[in-house]
Structures are given as structure tokens and as C-alpha cells.
Amino acid sequence: MRLSWILLASCLCQAQFKTTTQLVVETVTVKDKSGKPITGLTAKDFVLTEDGVAQEIKFFEFQKLDTAQATEPIVVTTKPTPLARLTRTQISGESPGDFKYRDRRLLGLYFDLTAMQVPDQLRAFEAAKRFVRTQMTAADLMAIMAFQGGSVQVFQDFTGDRSKLLSVIETLIVGEDENAPSDSSDASRADTGAAFGQNDSEFNIFFTDRPLAALQTAASMLGRLSEKKSLLYFASGLRLNGTNNQAQLNATINSAIRAGVSFWPIDARGLVAASPLGDATRGSPGGQAMYTGAAANAVVNNLQRSQDTLWTLAADTGGKAFLDSNDLERGIVNAQRAVESYYVLGYNTTNSNEDEKFRKIQISLKSNENAVLDYRKGYYGSKKFQKFTSADKERQLEDALRLGDPVTDLTIAMETGYFQLNRAEYYVPVVLKIPGSELVLARRGGAERTLIDFLGEVKDEYGTTISNIRDKVDIKLSGATAAELTRRPIEYDTGFTLLPGKYRIKFLARDAETGRMGTYETAFVIPNLNRETQRIPISSVVLSSQRVDMREALFNAAKDKTAQAQYPNPLVHEGIKLIPSVTRVFSKSKDMYVYLQTHQQEAEPARPMFTYVTLYRGAEKVFESTPFGTIDVQQNRLKTIPMQLQLPLSSLEPGEYLCQVTVLDPKSQKAAYWQAPVFLVP
């Protein structure tokens, strides 16, 4: 009997009991009808529910902030000394019992050095220094962050030390990063696999989502603190080249809301008075546009478009964009005065499910129904992908496609086009590119492989789903090709058949090994080429540096096979598929292919058509191909004329160019033009 009790006691000693709780923190601003903060409330005055279930408030705190300006400017008698080398740090979180951020206003200065010219950077730095000297109060703590070199750098954690802040800003002004080691080019590495596109560096060079993704990273860094945070975003507008991924914009905004961060963008260009035909940095545009006012309108529209994203970031996160003013310091002051006293509420959620579903939060006062409460309206639960069943994984994809909060754990670039099939229908090829370094290889059956899930849908302008696709791609790789995956992106292509109109396409990709997902969403228009009378009707123009034999393709979408059974893919000719360059980054060591289609439905007999490609660097024309003439008309009702050019790039210098494709019809004296920026790497 004694031996049995000893064994039982031994088993009890070795038993492990594990429980998990999730602490949810909400910051709540309470104001009366006149907009004044309501103070003196306790935890018993609040009613908090999650998905309709009452929650017990376990943590309660009142953050009392000093809203008064400094009575006297703080004058720094000596010029701050630049630091020899800025130390990269991080935003430190709060440890239990640490109250260093209590009753403090947290202001983060974020300088997007990739989106500002040098004069704009100097204006932003000087405005920050003036604020630190003359407007910073005892309640203010400031951090300094910057986006440069393809990553977000934290140069100073939150501090109230003005001298330290001024020294860091002064170091940024004098160009501390000049001696930083440059990123080595991938051109020196061996290129062993034609199954992949250009190397992963193209995503850093010429991918439109990087500024927004970096801003999302900065917001996530600040999310370690439970207090309210204001991020002052200095940029010269937010220019988006190529297609605009709406999903990344939404993901950045939603990430900031979850982290309790409000964006306060400041346009470092100040008040811009642009000349109608541009300034001295560019040549005359030429043509009729300079006489009809179209060139002047384009200058104004480009300026407004570069500010639209700044305004959206601010409006959707509770901040306010500061535009068209030379007093950049005033933008920081606006963010400072907007943060007033608030309450911090914390509770352990009763919902322990790791289902990644949205959980709605409602907070109200028991006794004052007229009070105005400002707080985060909900959050997404945690997830553990390895425990998902097959049904859970499918539901996760469907929920991610349906919900408005996109996931951008995986980087995705996407390109769409249109090619006329008949009088009514158009073929829309879709190409997605994912960096191979973000995927996980698994060894199964003795071979390296990676599994990717795809889900996409196309909706019309009224929100009706027109077409969709669900695909699972199992990519088996050899030893040499598997090694290339670490630095080469994978391209996936499919296609839809649509009518002319306005559409919105949304695609999700998920790494089936880790559950990490990426979303790409954008709007596109299919014009009715039958109604084109002023210009030559042309299809989309495809730029590529890669042609793949269909027999050697790693995979093909089932949806694409079904579509090709009725309509052939225009990018496939004699078993060779032309792979569009989604990011439009090209290597000097490879030729660039240009492909498009035009039609001569009414011409009898068919007339010869000519096309050529011109590359501009600034206002200077640096390359122009020999005009390519063809009368090769396909035997169909549209009398389709395919045009394909092959351009050597070895003689050009690396850098950014403007590519223009011109199509001429000498007989009818009509023309068509297409332009897009491209980037050339060694």
C-alpha cells in the first residue's frame, strides 16, 4: 500500500497543468458633449463586452496628460554634437510594475528617407528640432525612426532627453548612413534555374508596397506599448508606381488600429507652387498637351494623388494629414495637442479559441449615456496553424477573402492584362510573384517541396462576384533548384474570361507549411476596343525577360487549363509561354521581350503595322529600337495582329527608365502609345 502511494505521489509531481489567458488592453477617451475630457471615473463605471459577452475589467488606469504648452521655449545654447555612429535600437516594452510611460504622451518621429528629396529631408529635420527645442513639454516622450536601406531603423527609443533627441536628428542631417555597407548585388551569384524570375532584390528595388509595408512594421513595433501612440510620418507624398495594392494599404491601416497607433502624415514638400509644364528638373513634355492644358492638369493630379494616400492613412487611424503648409512644426504640434487624458482598460478574454476570428468590443458608461467614447472596436484572435484541420484551413482562406482585414505576411506582386478573344469577350491573364525566401521547404517522399494555396475572385463594380478560382500548387524541386528558392521568387499564373467593364480582383496565397498568408487586391478596367475610333486599338503590353517551355513548367492552374480548352492563352506560342515581369525589373544580362496585340477588323486587305520601343531616362531618350513591321494577321474574325519585339539591354546603364511602346498605322495615320516605368539592374 505504501508503494502505491509513493508511485501516485511521483506521478502527481510529474504532471503538468497548462493554462493560457489572453490579456486584451483598450485605451478609451471619454469626453462630454462640449469635447472636454471626463475625469474621475473608475472601473465600476464602465461596461465592457466582447461579442456580446460581458468581460471583467482586471486592469484599470487613468493617464493624465499635461495639455498646456511650455511656458517658455527651451533654448539650447550649444549646437548638438552629431554622434559618430547611430546605434540601432528597438522600442522597449513595459515590464510588470514598470510605469515609466504613465501620464506620458508618446510621439514617434518617422522619416521615410526613400520618399523624400534632400531639401525635403532638411525641412523635416529642422521642423523636428524646432519642436524639441520650443514645444516639447514635460509630458512628452519621443522616439526617432527612419525607413532607409530597405528596412525600418529605430535610432532612439522613447525618451524625454532633449539633448539626446537633438543629437540623433543632427546626425541624420549630416548623413550618418553614408559609410554604411551597401547591399551586394545578386548579379554575382550563379543563375542555375530558369523556373524562377529575377532575384528577390527586385521586390526591394521597385515594389510599390514597400513604403506601406515599412509603415506597418513601424506600427507593429509601437504596438508593444499599451498606451496611445502617435506616429508622425514625414514623407514627400506617397508615390505608388505601377499597380496599387489596396490590400497592403488596408493591412497597414488595420495593423495601426490594432497597435493603438494613429498616423499623422506631414508632407515635407510644404506648399508647392508647380509650374504648368514642370520645373527645371525635367524637359518640355512636347505634343499638344502643353497647349491644351492637359500637361498642367497632369502636374496637379500627380500632386494630389501623392497626397491622397497620406490623407487616407490619417483619416482611418484617427490622425490628421498636414498638407500644403511650410510650417511643418505645426503638424507635430497638432498631433501633440490631439492626445488628451484617457483611460486604460485591461481584461482577460473569456474566448480562448485560437480561431483568428474578429471579436467585436463594445464599451459604454453605466451612468452617462451622453458621453462620447473613442476606442478600438475589436481585434482578431490568435491562431495556431499547425492545429488546424482541413476544414479549418479552408475556412481560414474563405474568411480571409471575405473579411475586410487583409493579411500581408507574405509579399505578393501581381499583374493583370487583357486580350480580346472575340467581339464580346476578353482574356485576362493574371500573374502573381512571391519571394522564394518567404516560403518554407519541406522534405516529403525524399524530395524538397513547397505547397502553396491560392484563392481568388473577381467582382464587378457593383460588388457581384463574376469569377473565382481555388488552386493548390505542390512544387517539387530538385537539389539545385531548391537552393535557388532561397533567393528567387516563384511565379504563378492563371486567367479569366470577362466582358468589358470595371472590376476588382483579390488574390490570397498561403504557405501550407506555416499558414502565413499574403493578399493582393486592386482594381482594373477592360476597355471596349470595338469602340476605339481615334487611336489604334491595342491590348495590354506585356514586358518579360523569361520564356518557359510548357513541358518544363513547375505547375499549371486547373482553372487556366479549363480556360485554354475553349480559348488559347495569347501568351503561349508554339508551346512556349511568355512570363510577364510583374515588378518590371530587368537584368542587363537578359533580353527584354515586348508583346502586344492589335486588330484590323474592318481592314480589307490587312495593312502593315509598325511598332517600336523607346527608353527615356529623365527627359533624355537613351534607346530606341528599330521599327518592327508586320502584316501577320491571324485567321479569326478580329484579324488579330500579334507583335513581339526582343530588345538587348547589355549596352544600357543600370537605373530607372520610362519605357514607351508606340504602334503606328501609316495607312490610316493613327497611332497608339503605352508607357510604364522599368528598372534595370546589373
130 shares its domain with 273: yes
- Is the pLDDT score of 325 beyond 60? yes
The last residue of one of the domains, among 356, 382, 408, is 382
Q: What is the arithmetic mean of pLDDT over 180-195?
A: 37
309 shares its domain with 434: no
Q: Which domain holds residue 367?
A: 27-64+344-382
pLDDT at 367: 84
What is the C-alpha separation between 605 and 618, in angstroms, rounded? Answer: 41
- Is the pLDDT score of 194 beyond 60? no
pLDDT digits (tens, 9 = 90+) for 11-43: 444 444 444 567 787 888 888 888 788 888 888
Cβ(431)–Cβ(489) below 8 Å: no
pLDDT digits (tens, 9 = 90+) for 60-109: 888 877 655 444 455 555 677 777 667 777 888 776 556 677 778 899 99
pLDDT at 203: 64
Query: Where does residue 38 rank: exposed (0-12), middle (13-18), buried (19+ CB within 10 A)?
Result: middle
pLDDT at 613: 92
Cβ(668)–Cβ(609) below 8 Å: no
Question: Per the domain annotation, does 227 fall within a domain?
Answer: yes
Closest C-alpha among 136, 161, 166, 73 to residue 337: 136
pLDDT at 186: 39
166 shares its domain with 267: yes
pLDDT at 68: 53
pLDDT at 501: 93
pLDDT at 563: 45
pLDDT at 661: 92
- Is the pLDDT score of 294 beyond 70? no
Nearest 10 degrees: Cα torsion 45, 57, 224, 311: -40
Question: Cell numbers 482594381 label which residue?
Answer: 523
pLDDT greater at residue 443 or residue 429: 429
Query: Residue 295 is part of a domain; what is its CATH number?
Result: 3.40.50.410
3 confidence band (pLDDT: 50, 70, 90)? very low
Question: Per the domain annotation, does 219 fall within a domain?
Answer: yes
- The total of structural domains in the chain comes to 3
pLDDT at 487: 66
pLDDT greater at residue 412 or residue 481: 412
Q: Output b/e per residue, 372-403; b: 16+ Cβ within 10 A.
A: ebebbebbeeebebeebeeeeeeebbeebbee
Query: Residue 498 is part of a domain; what is its CATH number?
Result: 2.60.40.3880
Weakest mean pLDDT among 438-447, 500-509, 586-595, 633-642? 438-447
- Is the pLDDT score of 317 beyond 90? no
Nearest 10 degrees: Cα torsion 531, 534, 537, 542: -130
128 confidence band (pLDDT: 50, 70, 90)? very high
Angle between helices 210-222 and 246-259 (to 10 degrees): 10
pLDDT at 276: 65
pLDDT at 384: 66
144 shares its domain with 247: yes
Cβ(293)–Cβ(349) below 8 Å: no
All 3 cell numbers of residue 392?
479549418
- Is the pLDDT score of 478 beyond 70? no
Question: Per the domain annotation, does 631 fall within a domain?
Answer: no
335 shares its domain with 350: no
357 shares its domain with 323: no
- Among the residues of 293-434, which ranges form H helices? 294-315, 328-338, 390-402
Question: Cell numbers 525566401 label which residue?
Answer: 437
Q: What is the DSSP string of 421-469?
A: -SSS-EEEEEEEEE-GGGS--EEETTEEEEEEEEEEEEEETTS-EEEEE
351 shares its domain with 477: no
361 shares its domain with 418: no
pLDDT greater at residue 370 or residue 440: 370
Question: Per the domain annotation, does 577 fall within a domain?
Answer: no
Weakest mean pLDDT among 52-56, 141-145, 448-452, 632-636? 632-636
Q: What is the arithmetic mean of pLDDT over 398-419?
A: 78
**Residue % of the chain over a pLDDT of 70:** 74
pLDDT greater at residue 286 or residue 306: 306
- In this structure, the chain runs to a length of 682
pLDDT greater at residue 68 or residue 353: 353
Question: Per the domain annotation, does 91 fall within a domain?
Answer: no
pLDDT at 382: 66
Nearest 10 degrees: Cα torsion 400, 350, 49, 218: -50
What's the mean pLDDT when you consider all of the chain?
77
pLDDT digits (tens, 9 = 90+) for 573-587: 777 888 888 888 888
The last residue of one of the domains, among 509, 528, 547, is 528
307 shares its domain with 357: no
158 shares its domain with 234: yes
The last residue of one of the domains, among 382, 409, 433, is 382
359 confidence band (pLDDT: 50, 70, 90)? confident
Instruction: Please state, as a whole number, how many other Cβ atoms lie within 10 Å of the Cβ of residue 350.
Output: 13
What is the C-alpha separation between 30 and 32, in angstroms, rounded? Answer: 7
Strand, helix or coil for residue 235: strand
pLDDT at 75: 56
262 shares its domain with 410: no
Q: What is the arithmetic mean of pLDDT over 482-488?
A: 67
148 shares its domain with 221: yes
pLDDT at 234: 93
Q: Which helix (H) or strand (E) holds 359?
A: strand 358-365
pLDDT at 240: 56
pLDDT digits (tens, 9 = 90+) for 201-213: 566 555 556 788 8
pLDDT at 26: 83
- Is the pLDDT score of 2 beyond 80? no
284 confidence band (pLDDT: 50, 70, 90)? low
pLDDT digits (tens, 9 = 90+) for 451-476: 888 888 999 988 888 988 888 887 77
Question: Per the domain annotation, does 621 fall within a domain?
Answer: no
Question: Per the domain annotation, does 59 fall within a domain?
Answer: yes
List 405's β-bridge partners, or say none. Answer: none
- Amino acid at position 370, single letter: N
Q: What is the arithmetic mean of pLDDT over 148-169?
A: 86
pLDDT at 458: 92
pLDDT at 107: 92
Q: What is the arithmetic mean of pLDDT over 396-404?
A: 71
179 confidence band (pLDDT: 50, 70, 90)? very low
Question: Per the domain annotation, does 133 fall within a domain?
Answer: yes
What is the C-alpha separation between 433 and 431, in angstroms, rounded? Answer: 7
**Pairing verdict, β 151-159 and 57-63:** unpaired
